[in-house]
Amino acid sequence: MSFSSTNDNSDNMIGFYKRACDIFVPEAEQVHIWDFSGQTTQFLNDRINLPNGSMGQSAEEILLELQVHGFSDSKNGRDESIDGMIEYDRKDISFDSGSVKMNGSSDYVISRSTPKNLSVSGCRYRRARFLGLTGLQNLGNTCFMNSAIQCLAHTPKIVDYFVGDYRKEINRENPLGMNGELALAFGDLLRKLWAPGASPVAPRMFKLKLAKFAPQFSGYNQHDSQEFLAFLLDGLHEDLNHVKCKPYIEVKDADSRSDKEVADEYWQNHLARNDSIIVDLFQGQYRSTLVCPICKKKSVTFDPFMYLSLPLPSTTMRTMTLTMLSSDGTTLPCPITVSVPNCGRLKDLIEALSTACSLRNDESLLVVEIYKNKIFRFLEEPSDSLALIRDDDKLVAYRLPKVTEASPLVVFMHELLDKPSELEKSVPNWKLFGIPLVARLSDHSNGSDFRNQYLKLLSPFLMPDDTLNDDDSGVTANEDSAMEDVPSINVSDGNADSDSETDNGPLFSNDFQFCIKDYHGRVTEIEMNKPLLAPSYNNRLEVHVLWSEKMVEKYDTCILSSLPEVFKPQLCTRRPQESVSLYKCLEAFLKEEPLGPDDMWYCPSCKRPRQASKKLDLWRLPEILVVHLKRFSYSRIIKNKLETYVDFPVEDFDLSTYMSHKDSHLCNRYTLYAISNHYGGMGGGHYTAFVDHGHCRWYEFDDENVSPVSEDRIKTSAAYVLFYKRVS
């Protein structure tokens, strides 16, 4: 343990000693302090006599070692002295020792030992049992919490703050806080982690307080360590906020003022409402610029941030296979394979497909996902991430003519009569098969229009039949009049009952039957010569086509049902691991991009929501920079994790070239001191932490297990949250 002191006030040494005893050894029977500075320090009647001439010296660092007697060694079960921070090699050192009693009491004996031939710079130190190398027990899927806590518990100024007298700064009146309970629970937990000779700590009380104020972390499910960290930092800030009553501050327009003047005003307004150790250490400021795509109105704000959430840009390409279908009835479905950025957007896929199929100017592409022989979802938002598409998904791209929005999209879904076997007693029913066919029709279409369009789409699937002459070649797109009088099946419900069959099959055994099914399962038959009365939903209409046995024999349903997966891995092949620099992640974060359709900006000039472009710039950096790598992507349909290897700096993370505002008084270079890792996939996996315990000595904290690890092993594709401290 080291203390920095100005020797102008000798009372500082007494204060340091009392503070050390209060923090680390409140119940110890005996304490030894070894003076590594080579000076002779005597504690007599709460006064310190320093060596002659020391009073006028400049500030220096006094290296002390605490030996605590009375604690039980958890490893061997016997009592022995537990070394605090460092232990020197005794074989080359001799001592002059003596002891005195404090205030006439025998409770605490201080042994003054001055190594005769010891110098701080030349001493050969060897590792003992260091303070802070204490694990956290896993209470049941609490590794996410343990990982983040260990990173915070090894943030130097956080440790110094919480082992000190932090209780006097707790704000119990803050309605946004947690009555100080979260800060007290965290402080108590941190002190236990830094107690000499501590065994692995069970953070039960801390978890109870956490669940009390954040029910989402109750129970024993796995959670996201970054989400927990964000809540914890925010909760500690509110519990320790010096501002008792937050003032209302109206934001002024920038007008013609400089960015620096406006940024400083924003920052001072923020500090007027938020003043805590968390703000001092973890919060920075970035400039946010919004530009309206229509009137070019610009809005500039300066917002605080607690951490940087960086995307993982793709440096490799992903191969995707889709099925291409045309709506002109001239070609069969064909698989088409394209290469797109691994972390690209839907617009990248559309551009690659358009080039591969030589899409004409009067055509457009509609990409959908097929699941269980029907369209599961329409992929229409250009900004959607391709990471949401899994390798085993089945996608179809339809080539459609560019038409007005008034023309509804018609989706034809095929159904076959599923007859039970002779041993089964179930009722025959209709089931979906094949790839849905898609076309556009006018608003006022009758049944014949649907039938003609469907036969046109089916024409490439027509089976060759040499036994039929030219006069009896079957039904084509131009020969539908003969089928108008064919009896139809009763479709009052979704199933064909036994009364609708003869020995030769269904009553309408020669043709197709068209119908529409609503959300309640009711079926409405489409009559050939009457206008369609059924409404379309979202300008789309689903038409179910019931196939007769004769039509099944007439068309090649095998080709109609062929649908490859997006990616089919070959045997004995592995995709190469993707690698990206942390600087590239930062550049992607700072890149100008349009807002999503669900995050529109209300333009004060246009007086309506606009899909504005947004640009972020770093303006003010915090002392502790937390970098969150966005490995997880979420949607209502799918969750995905990126296993990209991020090459991050350890010694020198230089952000000088990325700053929009240069401050000569602050350094923009950082060094890494902690990492929160996530191993495994979505919905599970395991969290650990790597921590630099000083002098590039790295340790792995895997719940209650703590072990040294070499620095060349801390860079892995599991790195999730990085902790940097400013280089002084």
Question: Which helix H or strand E contains 340, and what residues bound it?
Answer: strand 334-341
| Angle formed by the axes of helices 143-152 and 225-239, nearest 10° | 50
Q: Is 671 helix (H, G, I), strand (E, B) or coil?
A: strand
Q: Which of 55, 62, 57 is nearest to 4 (CA)?
A: 62
Tokens found for residue 194: 């830094």
CA 153 to chain centre: 23
**Is 143 a residue of the active site?**
yes
For residues 555 and 577, what is the distance between their CA atoms, to the nearest angstrom? 45
Report how far residue 491's alpha carbon sits from residue 489's, in angstroms, rounded to the nearest whole number: 6
Strands in 317-326's sheet, in edge-to-edge order, are 334-341, 317-326, 395-401, 363-371, 374-379
Shortest CA distance to 139 belongs to which of 217, 231, 232, 192? 217
d(CA 82, CA 198): 10
> What length does the chain have?
728
Give me the sign of the Cα torsion angle 435, 441, 444, 448. Answer: negative
In sequence order, which residues have a C-beta less than 8 Å from that of residue 104 and are 6 or more positions away? none
| HSE-up (13 A, CA, CB side) for residue 572 | 0
Separate counts of helices (H) and strands (E) for the chain: 13, 40
Contacts of residue 548, defined as CB under 8 A and 6 or more positions apart, other chains included, come to 505, 506, 508, 509, 510, 511, 512, 513
Angstrom distance (rounded) from CA 189 to CA 362? 67
Q: Is 21 a catalytic residue?
A: no
The token pair at 566 is 């997006």
Report the C-alpha gap between 140 and 211 in whole angstroms. Answer: 14
Beta bridge partners of 110: 100
Whole-angstrom distance, CA of residue 351 vs CA of residue 340: 9
Cβ pair 59, 5 in contact under 8 A: yes
Of 69, 661, 686, 693, catalytic: 686
Neighbour tally for 83: CB within 10 Å: 19
Tokens in use for 646?
A: 């991020």
Residue 65: strand, helix, or coil: strand
DSSP secondary structure string, 185-223?
A: HHHHHHHHHTSTTPPPB--HHHHHHHHHH-GGG-TT---
Q: Partners of 102 in the beta sheet?
A: 105
DSSP state for residue 623 in the 8-state scheme = S
- Distance of alpha carbon 482 from alpha carbon 505, whole angstroms: 20
Catalytic residue among 143, 343, 515, 585: 143
**Nearest residue to 545 via CA among 464, 465, 438:** 438
Alpha-carbon separation of residue 545 from 158, 336, 442, 600 (angstroms): 68, 27, 19, 41
Q: Which residues are catalytic?
A: 143, 686
